[in-house]
């Protein structure tokens, strides 16, 4: 089914067809009159020629009508000053096609990194489709294969660019690289790319370099042109890698909006004289097409995550410090592009509870253990002190729609009807749901009705987790024991009591559980009956659920709890369990690294 954005564009196409019809109909009346007059003079041949010419002229005028795109631009803003946590915000924008340019950055024909070459070959057809779509709408296409422009010296697209005069008002620093917009951007840089970002297998990399040398190319800079997989339309496109030329081109054509695609996001796309930072500094409305780009990042470097997660971290960085982003499916029919090697399930983590600091602990947990194998979207509620925003619910909650699994850490938060319906729709789809601690009473109030404009979900605990939360014991601290069960557990604990695993939090009263639950761990207090603290549940809609009442800040420092939660998430999407030793190694590896830009 087409997306809402596609429907909007289709409506525009229909309006253009209507304009074409009306213009053509008016033309037909004029032509009929002209033919009649000419026929009187018995000049039938002239009448036919005139009619044909006028029809073509009218169709050309109708087809060249300026188009508009109704877009959703994504950016991120801090939940509060200095929190280092961010709301993901989608804001509408309307762009005129004749005021829009696409810059294709450094999509070279080859590269020293063979994996980068493979990703360029995969990416190029999608970029070409976008360029065709914008070109058809009278947008401006600029090909920017840095250091390869000499290859195109006889190209009409290159000559067209050079014919644009250089203005006296050209900014002094427009020919320079731009490494950052402000100090915060450098401080918050999310990956270490100081090794150049090459993620090849070492043996294959050496073989690839030998191939480049054998073909007469410089193995350090082997590119000679833009990949031929991206068409250059000699009748209207432009070619340049020069900051002054591109600035003058944009100003001469009165371009307001600039889309950046190509490689590599963390280097050239951000830093080139025609890159995102310079364009933003010079007042252009520059936007990254976040699905049509790639990063030079080696997973063997900090923060030791999946290559595609490294790109996601850079996209987050851009949305926070540089500019907004957009996906290509807002311009081209179909789905957004995704690399074939990107098999990561998408996990949305919904956090809105002030009591147990999961806005901090879950953020750190995802950085340590999830970015290796998951595409992570952290969705934060408003800060507790921001009372005015409480009635607005949770910003960015629409991000759950595309998730494969939802992790919830929310406490007694009724939501606007549309937002709560998004959660209900996710659950009803049969997708897996993970809950920790206060998720058992995520969307309901205790003995109270929600404020006007908000709605609650009173039986969320029993319906989604098969739970029965009633309160908690006042005593703090309890022992965790493994349940004697034939079912596989997620944490390396013996069948008997594990005295080395305990929580300093309070024990939730959760029994009796609903039929269909499988208890995994119990919590025990002296003199009190054992209470389930972790279990799985197969919901009536067929979806998998996991819940644990653990989640105190101190729990997140315990290796067994970390293993429990990560394996519950992995179980929900059929990824294999990892051992406690692997969890330990991930912790040690991550803590040893720091991020650097270049």
Q: How far apart are CA 186 and CA 170, in angstroms?
A: 27
Residues near 210 by Cβ (< 8 Å), separated by ≥ 6?
none
Q: Which residues of 450-486 are buried (b: 16+ CB within 10 A; e: fewer)?
A: beeebebbeebbebbbbbbbeeeeeeeebbbbbbeee
Run of H or E including 445: none
Rounded to two decimals, the pTM is 0.86
In a structure prediction context, what are the per-residue pLDDT tens digits for the chain, which is 598 residues long? 333 333 333 433 444 434 333 344 333 433 343 344 434 344 444 444 444 444 444 444 444 456 899 999 999 999 998 898 999 999 999 999 999 999 999 999 999 999 999 999 999 999 999 999 999 999 999 999 999 999 999 999 999 999 999 888 999 899 999 999 887 787 788 999 999 999 999 999 999 999 999 999 999 999 999 999 999 999 999 999 999 999 999 999 999 999 999 999 999 999 999 999 999 999 999 999 999 999 999 999 999 999 999 999 999 999 999 999 999 999 999 999 999 999 999 999 999 998 999 999 999 999 999 999 999 999 999 987 665 567 789 999 999 999 999 999 999 999 999 999 999 999 999 999 999 999 999 999 998 899 999 999 999 999 999 999 999 999 999 999 888 766 667 888 765 444 458 999 999 999 999 999 999 999 999 999 999 999 999 999 999 999 999 999 999 999 999 999 999 999 999 999 999 999 999 888 877 665 554 4
Q: Name the phi and psi angles at 337, rounded to 5.
A: -70, 145
Residue 151 per-residue DSSP state: G
Q: Pseudo-torsion of CA 204, 209, 210, 212, nearest 10°?
A: 130
In contact, 510 and 435? CB cutoff 8 Å: no
10 Å CB burial of residue 36 (0-12, 13-18, 19+) is exposed
Beta-sheet pairing, 433-436 with 405-410: parallel
Place of tokens 């340049």: 240
Task: Report whether 210 contacts 310 (CB < 8 A).
Answer: no
Can you give the pLDDT at residue 392? Answer: 85
The two three-digit tokens of residue 37, written as one number: 């007059």
Report yes or no: 440 and 410 within 8 Å, Cβ to Cβ: no
Q: CB within 8 A of 7, min separation 6: which ones?
A: none
The Cα 2–Cα 398 span in angstroms is: 18
Instruction: Please state, in angstroms and rounded to a whole number, the distance separating the CA atoms of residues 428 and 464.
Output: 10
Structure tokens at 23: 């213009």
Token readout for 497 is 């009591």
C-beta neighbour count of 154 within 10 angstroms: 7
451: CB partners within 8 A, 6+ apart:
391, 414
Q: Where are the beta strands (DSSP E) in 23-163?
A: 68-78, 86-96, 100-105, 140-144
Report how far Cα 18 is from the mean position of its chain's Cα atoms.
Answer: 36
Handedness of CA 4, 5, 9, 12 (dihedral sign): positive
Helices vs strands, H then E, count in the chain: 16, 17
Which phi and psi angles does 257 have, rounded to 5°?
-115, 130
Answer yes or no: are the C-beta atoms of 438 and 465 closer than 8 Å. Answer: no
Sign of CA dihedral 521, 524, 528, 533: negative
Whether 503 contacts 473, CB under 8 Å? no
d(CA 276, CA 207): 34
Per the DSSP assignment, residues forming a β-bridge with 406 are: 348, 433
């Amino acid at each position: 089914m087409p997306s809402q954005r596609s429907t909007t564009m289709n409506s525009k196409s229909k309006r253009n067809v209507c304009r074409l019809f009306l213009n053509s109909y008016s033309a037909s009346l004029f032509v009929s009159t002209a033919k009649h007059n000419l026929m009187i003079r018995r000049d039938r041949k002239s009448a036919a020629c005139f009619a044909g010419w006028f029809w073509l002229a009218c169709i050309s005028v109708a087809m060249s009508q300026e188009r508009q795109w109704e877009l959703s631009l994504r950016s991120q803003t801090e939940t509060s000053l200095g929190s280092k946590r961010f709301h993901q915000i989608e804001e509408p924008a309307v762009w005129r096609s004749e005021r829009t340019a696409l810059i294709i950055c450094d999509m070279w024909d080859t590269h020293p990194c063979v994996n980068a070459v493979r990703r360029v070959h995969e990416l190029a057809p999608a970029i070409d489709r976008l360029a065709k779509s914008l070109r058809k709408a009278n947008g401006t296409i600029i090909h920017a294969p840095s250091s390869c422009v000499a290859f195109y010296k006889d190209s009409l697209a290159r000559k067209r660019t050079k014919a644009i005069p250089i203005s006296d008002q050209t900014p002094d620093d427009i020919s320079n690289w731009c490494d950052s917009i402000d100090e915060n951007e450098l401080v918050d840089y999310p990956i270490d790319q100081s090794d150049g970002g090459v993620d090849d297998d070492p043996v294959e990399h050496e073989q690839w370099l030998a191939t480049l040398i054998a073909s007469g190319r410089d193995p350090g800079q082997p590119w000679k042109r833009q990949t031929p997989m991206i068409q250059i339309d000699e009748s209207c496109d432009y070619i340049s890698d020069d900051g002054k030329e591109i600035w003058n081109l944009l100003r001469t054509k009165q371009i307001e909006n600039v889309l950046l695609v190509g490689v590599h996001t963390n280097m050239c796309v951000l830093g080139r004289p025609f890159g995102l930072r310079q364009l933003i500094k010079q007042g252009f409305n520059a936007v990254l097409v976040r699905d049509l780009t790639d990063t030079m990042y080696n997973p063997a470097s900090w923060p030791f995550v999946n290559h595609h997660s490294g790109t996601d971290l850079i996209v987050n960085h851009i949305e926070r410090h540089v500019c907004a982003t957009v996906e290509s499916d807002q311009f081209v029919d179909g789905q957004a592009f995704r690399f074939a090697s990107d098999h990561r399930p998408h996990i949305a983590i919904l956090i809105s509870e002030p009591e147990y600091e999961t806005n901090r602990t879950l953020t750190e947990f995802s950085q340590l253990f999830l970015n290796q194998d998951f595409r992570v979207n952290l969705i934060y509620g408003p800060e507790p002190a921001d009372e005015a925003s409480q009635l607005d619910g949770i910003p960015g909650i629409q991000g759950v729609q595309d998730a494969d699994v939802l992790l919830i850490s929310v406490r007694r938060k009724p939501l606007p009807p549309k937002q709560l319906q998004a959660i209900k729709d996710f659950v009803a789809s049969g997708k897996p749901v993970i809950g920790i601690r206060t998720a058992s009473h995520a969307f309901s109030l205790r003995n109270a009705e929600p404020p006007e404009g908000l709605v609650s979900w009173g039986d969320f605990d029993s319906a989604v987790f098969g739970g029965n939360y009633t309160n908690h014991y006042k005593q703090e601290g309890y022992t965790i024991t493994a349940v004697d069960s034939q079912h596989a557990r997620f944490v390396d604990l013996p069948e008997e009591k594990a005295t080395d695993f305990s929580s300093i939090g309070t024990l939730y009263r959760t029994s009796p559980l609903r039929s269909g639950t499988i208890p995994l761990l119990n919590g025990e207090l002296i003199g009190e009956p054992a209470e389930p603290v972790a279990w799985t549940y197969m919901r009536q809609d067929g979806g998998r659920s996991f819940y644990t009442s653990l989640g105190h800040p101190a729990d997140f420092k315990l290796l067994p709890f970390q293993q429990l939660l990560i394996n519950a998430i992995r179980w929900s999407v059929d990824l294999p369990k990892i051992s406690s030793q692997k969890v330990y190694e991930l912790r040690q590896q991550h803590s040893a690294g720091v991020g650097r830009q270049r």
